């Protein structure tokens, strides 16, 4: 447990202190002022050894986030899409708890050849693709269900007195949500440390040509 805290769920005072004392960060930009519960994930604040920290900086300019996204996906589906976790701040130094929602992006058809989505439905069986020009565009069987975070703040309009006025069960719901968020942040930190300890950065020249830095992990 690095970010996660034990909170006494029988005590209103303890729950309010936890919520009021939790680190917060902006959900959008600092000028927008809306904030939510957050944790700092800048390298110096992750509790790493000096050797781990040096290797961490090496990993930061690779595609490493692909290896951590599963934690956020699990959290989002466990929350039925009502909450998710995003990265915010210059150079992404903060994990922020966001409100979220599933939505239909509005696409009606898709090309079977190249995957291009289209807002127009096909009138017959199959239509032409606007991108690859092949006659492979077919209607979607059902609307797509995508997920997005909203920029609305969480509890940034409540002070300690407002929170004390809530019922015990309403407070518990809030604390359990934030504790679950902290636990997900711990899982992200652990997955990141696994990368540092078990992976090395390799440079590859791809045919663009340009040199990309990839992260390569030992087989699990």
**Smallest gap, in angstroms, from Cβ of residue 114 to Zn ion?**
3
Q: Which is nearer to Zn ion, 136 or 194 (CB)?
A: 136
Q: Which range, of 9-17, 50-58, 108-116, 186-194, touches Zn ion by CB under 5 A? A: 108-116
**Smallest gap, in angstroms, from Cβ of residue 50 to Zn ion?**
51
Q: Which is nearer to Zn ion, 111 or 177 (CB)?
A: 111
Total residues contacting Zn ion by CB under 5 A comes to: 7
Residue 95 CB contacts under 8 Å (≥ 6 apart), including other chains: 38, 39, 41, 85, 86, 87, 185, 188
Distance (Å, whole) CA 72 – CA 69: 5
Is 113 near Zn ion (CB under 5 A)?
A: yes
Residue pointed to by tokens 């930009």? 29
Is 114 near Zn ion (CB under 5 A)?
A: yes
Among 111, 149, 163, 195, binds Zn ion (CB under 5 A): 111
Long-range pairs, 4-11, Cβ under 8 A, ≥24: 4/179, 4/182, 4/183, 4/185, 4/186, 5/179, 5/182, 7/175, 7/179, 9/172, 9/175, 9/176
Torsion of CA 27, 183, 219, 73, to 10 degrees: -50
**Smallest gap, in angstroms, from Cβ of residue 122 to Zn ion?**
13
**Smallest gap, in angstroms, from Cβ of residue 112 to Zn ion?**
8
Q: Which range, of 6-14, 31-39, 46-54, 132-140, touches Zn ion by CB under 5 A? A: 132-140
Q: Which is nearer to Zn ion, 114 or 144 (CB)?
A: 114
Binding site for Zn ion (CB under 5 A): 111, 113-114, 116, 129, 131-132
């Amino acid at each position: 447990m690095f970010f996660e805290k034990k909170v006494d769920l029988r005590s209103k005072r303890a729950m309010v202190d936890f919520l009021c004392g939790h680190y917060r960060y902006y959900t959008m930009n600092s000028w927008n002022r809306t904030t939510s519960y957050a944790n700092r994930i800048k390298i110096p604040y992750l509790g790493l050894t000096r050797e781990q920290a040096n290797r961490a900086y090496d990993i930061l300019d690779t595609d490493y986030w692909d290896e951590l996204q599963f934690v956020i996906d699990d959290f989002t589906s466990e929350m039925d899409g009502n909450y998710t976790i995003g990265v915010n701040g210059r150079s992404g130094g903060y994990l922020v708890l966001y409100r979220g929602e599933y939505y239909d992006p509005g696409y009606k058809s898709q090309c079977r050849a190249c995957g291009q989505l289209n807002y127009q439905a096909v009138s017959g069986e199959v239509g032409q693709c606007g991108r690859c020009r092949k006659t492979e565009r077919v209607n979607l069987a059902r609307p797509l269900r995508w997920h997005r975070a909203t920029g609305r703040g969480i509890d940034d309009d409540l002070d300690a007195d407002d929170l004390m006025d809530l019922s015990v069960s309403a407070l518990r719901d809030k604390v359990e949500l934030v504790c679950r968020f902290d636990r997900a942040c711990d899982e992200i930190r652990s997955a990141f440390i696994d990368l540092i300890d078990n992976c090395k950065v390799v440079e590859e020249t791809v045919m663009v040509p340009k040199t990309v830095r990839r992260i390569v992990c030992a087989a699990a």
